[in-house]
Structure 1
């Protein structure tokens, strides 16, 4: 059997985001036949406790559930892990310390995506969950690359962004477009050169309507490109 790198995908957070990641991984892979695609295993477990609730409201710790998925992917023979959930990366250090497999970091992938879009510095809008913002997962990494991060104010997070994310999780994807587009446009009006869609539900809502007239970094696509680079290294 031809040796190939097998990608493990720790999904289910939410289920539609994980499924969309698999689709985008397939569509973005340079391929002319089945055998050119990346062998992959999707572990989709929607029982993982809510990551934002765990971080800011004393909810159940998701790490044991995340590690259960990682152990399953290890047993399946995977060589690396991609996690199409931004907020879950708040437990990145604990996960990485507990597995020999490299975990592709979605925030680093998003930073690389900004470079691919030609955005090398300056203000960046950040749409994400309240948990991701509270953990400063993006702020620290993007600021180290010369960006200033602009996030919606707390009132707008409660009124617009979090309800829109919940709409996507409830399979009401088209209804999420208008509020998410409004929030992104407000960030650009404040001076953002691009907007990072820093929750994997957000690209799903944004894709349900007309394309936005400014650069956006889709973290599902960014992570898919990072996975392709891992599986098919140049040279």
Structure 2
């Protein structure tokens, strides 16, 4: 039974669940995996905790994890990239396997035949500062590149959280184009709000974008969240 520690943010969790359904090869209801979803929207802001010493989100995430354990979850997915800064601390507190979103992205890159080179990362400032992608992907030959205007990316993420998706999309398209122009072979949509505004099938990008939410959903279905070749 998949336990989803969500609510970071709520709309992104709903988007993850839709992608989980779409990633499942099924012809009837009973072919889909069972899932328990916790919309824990009271978890403190992850980026604020990393960048500005805001309230520590770990206790609230651990509390959510305990609720999923008690409800019968047998593995955990967290559809929030920045929350993976605390992946190790969460994993140390449970025997349940917690899929890592960056491992899922690495697997998606491998499947696409992309095994080294520069990767653009559209993410929160917290995700970038914590090195959630750069540290983990560097072990596999990838170099992560930040956008030219990170403030603009954060503004777009806040717009998505406020329901102003079209405005956010215009900002994010410009930042993605800048990364591609800088020589990035792929651009990772590494905040679960970003795919809501900038679809991986968005006009003009072809397969240049890789949706981390989609990669996590696929990993939940295929079990590719932590393949042996991705574990240090």
Q: Which residue of structure 1 lines up, in the alignment, with residue 218 of structure 2?
A: 225
* Structure 1 residue runs without a partner (length 5+): 1-5
Indicate if the aligned counterparts of 1:174 and 1:209 stay in contact, CA closer than 8 A. Answer: no
* Structure 2 residue runs without a partner (length 5+): 225-232
Of residues 65, 69, 74, the one that matches 2:64 is 69
Secondary structure of the corresponding residue to residue 135 of structure 2: helix
- 1:176 counterpart = 2:171: no
Of residues 3, 11, 16, the one that matches 1:16 is 11
Per-residue displacement from partner, 1:199-219 (whole Å, max 9, x unpaired)? 111111102953523421101
CA distance in 1, matches of 2:206, 2:222: 28
Of residues 99, 103, 106, the one that matches 1:104 is 99
Per-residue displacement from partner, 1:57-109 (whole Å, max 9, x unpaired)? 01000001101110010011111000000000001111000011000000110
Where do residues 30-109 of structure 1 align in structure 2 (5 Å cutoff)? 30-109=25-104
Indicate if the aligned counterparts of 1:181 and 1:212 stay in contact, CA closer than 8 A. Answer: no
Q: Which residue of structure 2 lines up, in the alignment, with residue 3 of structure 1?
A: none
- 1:192 counterpart = 2:184: yes
- 1:150 counterpart = 2:145: yes
Q: Which residue of structure 1 lines up, in the alignment, with residue 227 of structure 2?
A: none
CA distance in 1, matches of 2:163, 2:112: 30
CA distance in 2, matches of 1:58, 1:211: 39
Count of aligned positions? 223
Secondary structure of the corresponding residue to residue 149 of structure 1: strand
Of residues 216, 219, 225, the one that matches 2:209 is 216
Q: Which residue of structure 1 lines up, in the alignment, with residue 155 of structure 2?
A: 163
Indicate if the aligned counterparts of 1:122 and 1:148 stay in contact, CA closer than 8 A. Answer: yes
Secondary structure of the corresponding residue to residue 148 of structure 1: strand
* TM-score under structure 1 length normalisation: 0.92
Shift in Å at residue 152 of structure 1? 1.5
Indicate if the aligned counterparts of 1:50 and 1:59 stay in contact, CA closer than 8 A. Answer: yes
Shift in Å at residue 141 of structure 1? 1.4
Shift in Å at residue 117 of structure 1? 2.1
